[in-house]
Amino acid sequence: MKWKEAVTKLQPYQPGKSIEEVKRQYGLTSITKLASNENPFGCSNLVREAISGYGTSYALYPDGYATNLRAAVAEHVGKKETEIIFGNGSDEIIQIISRSLLYPGRNTVMAAPTFPQYKHNAVIEGADSREVPLIDGEHDLSGMLAAIDNETSVVWLCSPNNPTGIHIPAAELVGFLSKVPKDVLVVLDEAYYEYTDAEDFPDSVKLLDSYENLIILRTFSKIYGLAAFRVGYGIAHEEIIRKLEPAREPFNTNTLGQIAAIAALADQGFISRCKEENKMGLQQYYSFCEAEGLAYYPSQGNFILINFDMDSDEVFQYLLENGYIVRSGRALGFPGWVRVTIGSHEQNEGIIAQMKSLL
């Protein structure tokens, strides 16, 4: 067998320890997972009602075009149905973009550290990744522009960036888009869009009117609380969507996921409440960090990166043994730091007490 050389060097993605695994390993009865930026409040009650009311056979394939969900999302974002592509999570859209545009001899530009799937897929496709270091947690957009050349196919922007939580301000984004060559696809990953409240956060969907080489990625896995269902989407010009569609699995979003996402979208009251809770939760961490003199990045997402200035794996391990799963910054390109998902008020209090006892 002749494997792609790059693939032989890749490790499978390590999603972090599961609650069950940690319980078994440490003999704990209660575990709180604050590691994958999921919504601590779950999802809207409308989702449960919609799912339990589902009466069609499980023997049938899902609607591959996600017709009803497509109509609901198109209305929600104010775009045409033909301007949307669905994925088995936005992870799959990252994969579709990479399959379609990346191959040996081409390169792709991204920040570092950022969401690891951009590079992971580039490696699989045999394209070169040009990683431009963040400056103070922010994208270095001039550095990224300078990294673009005739062989660049895709540029990845993650806003707010995972793991720093810092967003790209509207004016800077527009400046960047106006300078990127038109034959380079700019992917703006807004997985945490619904959590953001910065005044200078861009109205990215509006930017699609001016930039035909832009695709925006959003997901139902974060504030909508549907990570288990795997539904994400991309918004772009029809021409881009039409080119990406052939690389999509025919039945990539499943029947229950589509039903769940439609119901979740209908309950914007739940989304506003979660956003408010998250803002208050972030304040709990800011106060803690300031009181203890720990550096952190103010976050536009539902997670916070904190500098413990000690071995992140040790912090991770200590918190794990005390019932909290977080992400060690070592694997995220931030040795010494730890990324914590904002939980409920009680969960935040609980983990902050453990963090205090470690210092």
* Footprint of ligand PMP (CB under 6 A): 37, 89-91, 115, 158, 162, 189, 191, 219, 221, 227, 232
Number of other residues whose CB lies within 10 A of the CB of residue 190? 23
Say which residues have a Cβ less than 8 Å from residue 43's Cβ, sequence separation at least 6. 224, 225, 226, 260, 264, 270
255/354 with CB nearer ligand PMP: 255
Smallest gap from Cβ 140 to ligand PMP, in A, equals 18
Smallest gap from Cβ 324 to ligand PMP, in A, equals 18
Smallest gap from Cβ 162 to ligand PMP, in A, equals 4
> In this structure, are strands 84-87 and 232-236 parallel, antiparallel, or unpaired?
antiparallel
122/322 with CB nearer ligand PMP: 122
218/237 with CB nearer ligand PMP: 218
DSSP-assigned letters across all residues of 52-104: HT--S-TTSPP-TT-HHHHHHHHHHHT--GGGEEEESSHHHHHHHHHHHH--T
The beta strands (E) that lie in 88-206 are given as: 107-112, 128-133, 152-158, 185-189
CB-CB contact of 216 with 190 (8 Å)? yes
221/300 with CB nearer ligand PMP: 221
Smallest gap from Cβ 55 to ligand PMP, in A, equals 27
Number of other residues whose CB lies within 10 A of the CB of residue 255? 17
Closest residue to ligand PMP, judged by C-beta, is 89
In DSSP terms, 339 is beta-bridged to 305, 327
37/312 with CB nearer ligand PMP: 37
Smallest gap from Cβ 76 to ligand PMP, in A, equals 16
Smallest gap from Cβ 77 to ligand PMP, in A, equals 16
Residue 11 DSSP SS3:
coil
Which letter, b or e, does each residue of 266-277 get, where b requires 16 or more Cβ atoms within 10 Å of its Cβ?
Answer: ebeebbeebeeb
Residue 300 DSSP SS3:
coil
89/343 with CB nearer ligand PMP: 89
111 φ/ψ angles, rounded to the nearest 5 degrees: -80, 165
Smallest gap from Cβ 144 to ligand PMP, in A, equals 16
219/322 with CB nearer ligand PMP: 219
Q: Which amino acid is at 174?
A: V
